[in-house]
């Protein structure tokens, strides 16, 4: 089975998603929002990337917390999807970094985690995350949260 590797490998996104997401981002020449997927499990990362690309988003990836910080600084994504249990820097540390960096401070962060939400949701919000999604992922619900958090122009 062939999985798309970049947004250019997928036919143009339907207008339905663009309409749900609001007007195209005036700061982006192609109107696409960039989402950083920070996930150490390659299968989950590929699944999230593929589904996001199919919905017309541009996707950048990180395999660990330090890479997430580096990629976020370099690309200034519109939204971050992040596991909490990442090698090198955990998701809490990445969220605190984002919230204390001027150029990233307003980037929404969605935690996607298998951790017990009763124990970790409050900690994630305290670190600066905007939403908490439990694994296994209900992608339609995740997409609603993404659309709700993305900046609109």
Percent of the chain with pLDDT over 70: 79
Q: Which residue has the tokens 């908490």?
A: 132
pLDDT of residue 30: 56
Using left for φ > 0, alpha for ψ between -120 and 50, and beta otherwise, residue 152 falls in beta
Per-residue confidence (pLDDT) for residue 129, from 0 to 100? 97
Q: Is the pLDDT of residue 141 over 50?
A: yes
**Average confidence score pLDDT of the chain:** 83
**Domain 32-149, architecture per CATH:** 3-Layer(aba) Sandwich (3.40)
Nearest CA among 47, 92, 94 for reference residue 67:
94
- What is the pLDDT averaged over residues 49-60? 96
Q: Where are the domains of the chain?
A: 32-149
């Amino acid at each position: 089975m062939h999985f798309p590797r970049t947004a250019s490998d997928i036919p143009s996104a339907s207008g339905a998603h663009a309409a749900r997401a609001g007007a195209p981002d005036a700061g982006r020449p192609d109107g696409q929002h960039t989402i950083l997927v920070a996930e150490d499990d390659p299968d989950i990362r590929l699944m999230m990337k593929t589904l996001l690309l199919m919905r017309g988003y541009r996707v950048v990836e990180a395999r660990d917390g330090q890479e997430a910080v580096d990629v976020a600084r370099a690309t200034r994504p519109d939204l971050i999807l992040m596991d909490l249990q990442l090698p090198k820097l955990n998701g809490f540390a990445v969220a605190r970094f984002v919230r204390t960096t001027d150029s990233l401070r307003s980037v929404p962060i969605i935690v996607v985690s298998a951790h017990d939400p009763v124990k970790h949701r409050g900690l994630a919000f305290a670190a600066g995350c905007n939403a908490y999604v439990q694994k296994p992922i209900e992608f339609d619900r995740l997409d609603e949260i993404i659309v709700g958090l993305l900046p609109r122009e």
